[in-house]
Amino acid sequence: MTEKWYNIQNKAGKPADVYIFDEIGTYGITAQEFITDIKDLKDTPINLRINSLGGDVFDGMAMYNVIKRREAKTTVYIEGIAASIATIISLGADEVVMAENSLFMIHNAWGGTMGEAKDMRKTAENLEKITGELTDIYRKKTGLSYDALAEMMDEETWLNANEALEMGFIDTISDSIKVAAKYDVSKFKNITQEEIQNKLSININNKKMTNELKEWFNNKVEEIVTAVKGDVKVSADVAEQTAITVNLGDNDEIKNKISEFESSNIELSNKISLLEEELVASKGTNETLTQEVEALNAKINKADAKGTEIVTEADPVVVENKKEDANAGFYNAMADKLKNKFNN
C-alpha cells in the first residue's frame, strides 16, 4: 500500500484531525478516497488542516459538497497555502481559520485539451461554467459581488490572512506556524518560489510574546527600561531576558525613544507651569478689578444717597452739589464700563 499524502488522527472524545498537505486529485488524494476515509467520522467534529496548491477541480468540488453536508462541525485550518480548488474545499467548513503567515489564492478554472477547433471551444465553454460555479461559492461565503470576484479570479489573486479576513473568505486568524514545505508554483502567473518562501517563513525570535512573557515583561518593565538605558544595577533575570528573550530591537533606537519621551514630559511640565502662572496672574487681576468695582459702587451709592459730588481720595472733601443726577449718571456709566471689562 502506498503512503498517502494526508492522514487522519482520531482520538476518542476529541475532534478528528485530518491533514491535507498536498495536491488534490490523481497525484494526491481523490474525492473517493477522502469520502471513504471520513465516512466513519460522520458524528465526529473534524479539524481539517489544509496546506495545498489545489489540483483537480472535480475532485475538489466533490470534497466540498461532502464537507458541506456533514452534520458534525468541520473547522478548516489553513496552515501554509490554500490555492485554487483547495480554497473551495476550505469553504465547505463551518468555520475557516487561517494562520497569519499563510496564503489564500483564487483564480479561474483552467485546463487544456487536444482535438479540433470545436473541441477547444467546448473546453472553453466548460471552463467558463466551472469558473461560474466557483465564483458562486466565493460569493455566498464573502458577500462580494460577482463582478468583483470575477476580476480577482481573472488576475489570479493572492491574499494574506488579513486580506482574506477583510474580504470574508475566512472567519478567524490564528498565530503564525512554522511551514517547512516547498511548493512548485511554476504553473501560477503572479507569484514565484522565492516570494512564497518569504511570505511563509517565520523567524521564531520575532513571534509575539507569549502571555507568560507579557506578564513577566509588565512586572519588570521599570527594570528593563533601566537596563536599556545602560544603568548598572538590575536583577539577573532582567539582564538575561532583556539581552536574550525579550526582543526589544536596537538599544540605540530604544534609548532615543526614551529620551524623546523624557523630553516630551519636560516640555509638558513646563507648559503646565506656565499655565499655572498665567492662571494665578489672571486670578490676581480679577480680584483687583473686583475690588475696584466694589469701591466705585460704594462711591456711587454714597453719591446717590447724599446728592454730593465725589472728589479724589487725595481730597476727600464732600461738597454739596445740587446736580446730583448728573454726577450719579457719570459714575454709573464708569461702573458699567469697568463691569464690562471685568466680564469680558
What cell does 220 get? 519588570
Q: What is the pLDDT of residues 206-258, one digit of tens each?
A: 444 445 555 655 666 666 566 555 554 555 555 554 444 444 444 555 556 66
All residues at 6 or more sequence positions from 141 whose CB lies less than 8 Å from its CB, including other chains: 91, 168, 169
More confident residue, 291 or 185: 291
More confident residue, 161 or 273: 161
Q: What is the mean pLDDT of residues 170-176?
A: 92
Residue 181, amino acid: A
Q: What is the mean pLDDT of residues 62-83?
A: 95
The CATH number of 6-206 is 3.90.226.10
The active-site residue, picked from 90, 102, 107, 176, is: 107
84 has catalytic annotation:
yes
Q: Which helix (H) or strand (E) holds 96?
A: strand 95-99
Residue 74 DSSP SS3: strand
pTM to 2 decimal places? 0.55
The active-site residue, picked from 84, 90, 102, 176, is: 84
Domains of the chain, by residue range, sit at 6-206, 211-243, 251-343
Residues 20, 66: Cα–Cα separation, whole Å: 15
Of 3-7, 130-134, 151-155, 223-227, minimum mean pLDDT range: 3-7
Q: How far is CA 46 from the centre of its chain?
A: 29
What cell does 135 get? 465564483
pLDDT value of position 146: 95
State the average pLDDT for the chain: 75
Residues 225, 199: Cα–Cα separation, whole Å: 33
pLDDT value of position 246: 40
Q: Interior CA angle at 331 toward 326 and 336, to 5°? A: 125
